[in-house]
Structure 1
Amino acid sequence: MATRATTANTRSRRRDTRREIQEIALRHFLERGYEAASLREIAEELGVTHAALYYHFKSKEDILVSVAEGLGGPIDELIAWGEQQPPTLRTRQELLTRYSETLTAAAPLFRLMQENQSALRKLSIGQTLNDRVAALARLIYLPEAPLEAQVRASSALMTVHFGAFSLYALPGEAEEKRKALLDLGLELLAAAHTGGR
């Protein structure tokens, strides 16, 4: 019995350490830029040796990929849900609303991707995030609609997506800004379905 409890505690500490590494690393990536941040500085702030950090993650890319996987899981679930729904305005509104809520947690990652495009271009994570947004876009767009309606539907998604990390520096509460972006996105989506009337 004691062995199982010890094993469970050890796993829990490892998960906590991994999560702490992810949080510190993401902050370093955002403050210093991905290329300038170092594993040594992350290990120092965490209070562990470089070797101890290496036990959990072999590289900065490994840390970034693990962060993206954790934040991307809810988006993957949303896409899977959307693929099972009828392509109606109501479904698209629900997709946009839930995506807006999901982006609250993922905003730092998307901001990092936006601000470090050249450094991250060669990493696979950029393509993974792009694939998620493209899959969501396919569910929101109106492929048979006139061009103007397609532009509105596309703009609805981009308003919510890019707004999540581009408005962080503006004054105001984060939730207030999220709701304002979502309201605009939902208006654009409704206009796409009604032909702008």
Structure 2
Amino acid sequence: MQDTELGSTRARIQRVALELFAEQGYDKTSLRELAERLGMTKASLYYYFKSKDDIVRSLVGDLLAAVDEVVDWSREREPTPQHRRELIERYGKAVRGQGTLLRFLTENQPALRGLEAGDALRQRMRTLIGFVVDPADPLPAQLCGRLAFYALHGGPAILSDVDATSEEIFDAACVVALSMVPDGDGRQA
């Protein structure tokens, strides 16, 4: 099999797996069901991915690389109000177009707890939240800082029934996320 064919089959498996995981949950989706939806045998599926965990690892891998760039950026900056807002903008760019994956990750957190990919993403999120949220701030400001990330993760799902393009919806989520970033005085921007 040629590399391009391998890559396109692999990408197709990832896309269909993500759809199934998002529709019915990680735990309720079997490899047999995934193989059937793809019109292939379970043995053929095993050629590409040995387990559901392997599929999740591959899905989260690209997202982690993009999030790592934001984490690396944050490590070179002081958490000033301007840098906090810039981090949210950078994070928004990193997750733009990842609505289905973010929905899957959000809705399947219990199932992902034991997976290496889930742990890796949670570790990065703690770092990013730690940059945006000052533990000395009042609780409402801390909550707003955390909700800024949730606006980016959940905004597309919350607005899925609105008559707007996915780009317009994500742009709105970015505006809301930026409005929630604490300004350094314990207040939101």
The structure 1 residue matched to 2:79, chosen from 58, 80, 87, is 87
**Residue matched to 1:42:** 34
Q: Which residue of 1 aligns with 2:56?
A: 64
Does the Cα contact within 8 Å between 2:80 and 2:184 map onto a contact in 1? no
In structure 2, relative to structure 1, the CA distance for the partners of 1:118 and 1:88 (3 Å cut) is closer
What is the CA distance between 1:27 and its match in structure 2?
1.0
Shift of 1:170: 4.4
Q: Corresponding residue for 2:184? A: 193
Tell me the CA shift for residue 87 of structure 1: 2.5
Between the aligned residues of both structures, percent identity stands at 36
The count of residues paired between Structure 1 and Structure 2 equals: 188
Amino acid at match of 1:98: R
Which residue of the other structure, out of 65, 74, 93, is the alignment partner of 1:73?
Answer: 65
Q: 1:134 to 1:166 in 2, by over 3 A?
A: farther
Residue pair 1:157, 1:185 contacting (<8 A) in 2 also: yes
Q: Are the aligned partners of 1:137 and 1:154 in contact in 2 as well (CA < 8 Å)?
A: yes
TM-score by length of 2: 0.82
Distance change >3 Å, CA 156–CA 28, structure 1 → 2: closer
Shift of 1:146: 5.2
Q: CA RMSD in A?
A: 2.6
Gaps in structure 1 of 5+ consecutive residues: 1-8
More helix by share: 1
CA contact (8 A) 2:103 2:157 kept: yes
CA distance in 1: counterparts of 2:117 and 2:89, whole angstroms? 25
Deviation at 1:40?
A: 2.4
Q: What CA distance in whole angstroms lies between the structure 2 residues aligned with 1:61 and 1:156? A: 29
TM-score normalised over the length of structure 1: 0.79
